[in-house]
């Protein structure tokens, strides 16, 4: 049970003078239950890549297999694929449209042809999963705060019961607490349901804190595909492609450069705190 990309290439405007080779020979295996971070500078091919994962874009060459089946085979049921691979676009709250929150979340499962009862059960569960209280269910989605709207929009995708959830910058424009709330809820959801999560993000700190694997895109190719600890060791190369390591990694590098023997492959505040505290040569006072 997994998603496999085999030698995927994608060219925009292939038969014109403005052809852009947006994906170059991308090979990836996305097994069940991973929490993956997808990073890369603007225009590196992240969004093109995620649109391939649920068949919105067909590769120019190469194949994509979901659970062993080629998703671009003639008799493949794309509609089912799209319920299994849920894509939450950037600023998903712009896609809210119904007269109340509950109806909006029902829209997806209703269109899958499910019974009214099943649809409503799923909508209820999805809203609970993103932490929307009952009191908001019958309010207009447009009266909610930015963070709440975004969570309702994510619930709309969760109600389809996807096996893979892809979120394109789910925290853009939110305040720090709002960012933490959304990401904590997604992490909890992943723990509880075992769903695969792919998080597209420009925040290295967030990626370092939550994911177990990072895929770095650069100019349409996969530059790194590894655990955060390993990827952020290449902070100089990351800077060259418009990215960075979390600030705490730079702190550890700076300490090491001053001759203090701390590990430099640290990517979160908690790890850094433990590492510095356990360095017994520090005076406590």
Partner 1 sequence: MGIIKTDKLVFEYIRRDEEGNVEGITRAVDEVDLDVKQGDFIAILGHNGSGKSTLAKHINAILYPTEGTVWVDGMDTQDESKLWNIRQEAGMVFQNPDNQIIGQVVEEDVGFGPENMGVPTKEIWERVEESLKAVGMYEYRKHSPNKLSGGQKQRVSIAGVIAMHPKCIVLDEPTAMLDPNGRKEVIRAVRALNDVEGITVILITHYMEEIIHADMVYVMDKGHVAMEGTPREIFSRVEELKDLRLDVPQVTLLAYELQQSGMDLPDGILTIKELTEALAAKYKGI
Q: Classify the C-alpha dihedral 95-97-102-108 as positive or negative.
A: negative
Of 52-60, 79-87, 175-183, 211-219, which part binds partner 1 (CB under 8 A)?
A: 175-183
Contacts with 122 (C-beta within 8 Å, 6 or more apart), sequence order: 109, 114, 159, 160, 161
**Does residue 89 interact with partner 1 by CB under 8 A?**
no
Q: For residue 177, report the phi and psi dihedrals to the nearest 5 degrees.
A: -65, -40
Count of chain residues binding partner 1 (CB under 8 A): 44
Q: Is 92 in the site for partner 1 (CB under 8 A)?
A: no
Backbone CA torsion sign across 51, 177, 191, 122: negative
- Is 117 or 135 the residue whose CB approaches partner 1 more closely? 135
Cα 254 off chain centre by: 30
Interface with partner 1 (CB under 8 A), residue from 104, 168, 205, 206: 205
DSSP state of 242: T
Residues 257-276 that bind partner 1 (CB under 8 A): 258-261, 269-270, 272-273, 276
Closest by CA position to 23, among listed 5, 3, 2, 4 = 5
Among 62, 64, 70, 1, which Cα is nearest to 31's?
A: 1
| Residue 131 within binding range of partner 1, rule CB under 8 A | no
- CB nearer to partner 1: pick between 117 and 280: 280
Nearer to partner 1, 3 or 223 (CB): 223
Q: Which pair of structure tokens corresponds to residue 17?
A: 């003078």
Please identify which residue in the block is written with the tokens 């356990």: 278
Q: Decide if residue 204 touches partner 1 (CB under 8 A).
A: yes
Q: Give CA separation, 63 vs 34, 69, 168, 223, in Å.
A: 21, 10, 23, 20
Which residue lies nearer to partner 1 by CB, 83 or 253? Answer: 253
Q: Does 283 engage in binding with partner 1 (CB under 8 A)?
A: yes
- Asked if residue 125 binds partner 1 (CB under 8 A), the reply is no
Q: Does 243 bind partner 1 (CB under 8 A)?
A: yes
Binding mask of the shown chain, residues 31 to 70, with x at each position contacting partner 1 by CB under 8 A: ---------xxxx---------------------------
Q: Which of these, 100, 22, 99, 102, lies nearest to 61 by C-alpha position? A: 22
The contact set with partner 1 (CB under 8 A) reads 40-43, 145-147, 172-179, 202, 204-205, 239, 242-244, 246-248, 250-251, 254-255, 258-261, 269-270, 272-273, 276-277, 281-285
């Amino acid at each position: 049970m997994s998603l496999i990309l085999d030698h995927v290439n994608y060219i925009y405007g292939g038969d014109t003078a403005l052809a852009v080779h947006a994906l170059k020979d991308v090979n990836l295996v996305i097994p069940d239950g991973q929490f993956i971070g997808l990073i890369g500078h603007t225009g590196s091919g992240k969004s093109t890549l995620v649109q391939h994962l649920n068949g919105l874009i067909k590769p120019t060459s190469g194949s994509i297999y979901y659970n062993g089946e080629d998703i671009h085979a003639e008799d493949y049921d794309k509609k089912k694929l799209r319920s299994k691979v849920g894509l939450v676009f950037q600023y998903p709250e712009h896609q809210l449209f119904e007269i109340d929150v509950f109806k909006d979340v029902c829209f997806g499962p209703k269109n899958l042809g499910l019974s009214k009862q099943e649809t409503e059960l799923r909508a209820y569960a999805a809203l609970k999963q993103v932490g929307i209280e009952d009191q908001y269910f019958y309010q207009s989605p447009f009266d909610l705060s930015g963070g709440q709207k975004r969570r309702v929009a994510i619930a709309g995708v969760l109600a389809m019961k996807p096996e893979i959830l892809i979120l394109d910058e789910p925290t853009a424009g939110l305040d720090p607490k709002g960012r933490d709330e959304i990401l904590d809820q997604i992490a909890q959801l992943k723990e509880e349901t075992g769903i695969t999560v792919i998080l597209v993000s420009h925040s290295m700190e967030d990626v370092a804190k939550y994911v177990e694997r990072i895929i770095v895109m650069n100019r349409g190719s996969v530059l790194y595909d590894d655990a955060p600890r390993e990827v952020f060791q290449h902070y100089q190369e990351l800077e060259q492609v418009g990215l960075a390591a979390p600030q705490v990694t730079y702190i550890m590098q700076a300490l090491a450069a001053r001759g203090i023997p701390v590990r430099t492959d640290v990517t979160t505040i908690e790890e850094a705190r433990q590492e510095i505290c356990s360095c017994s040569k520090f005076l406590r006072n």
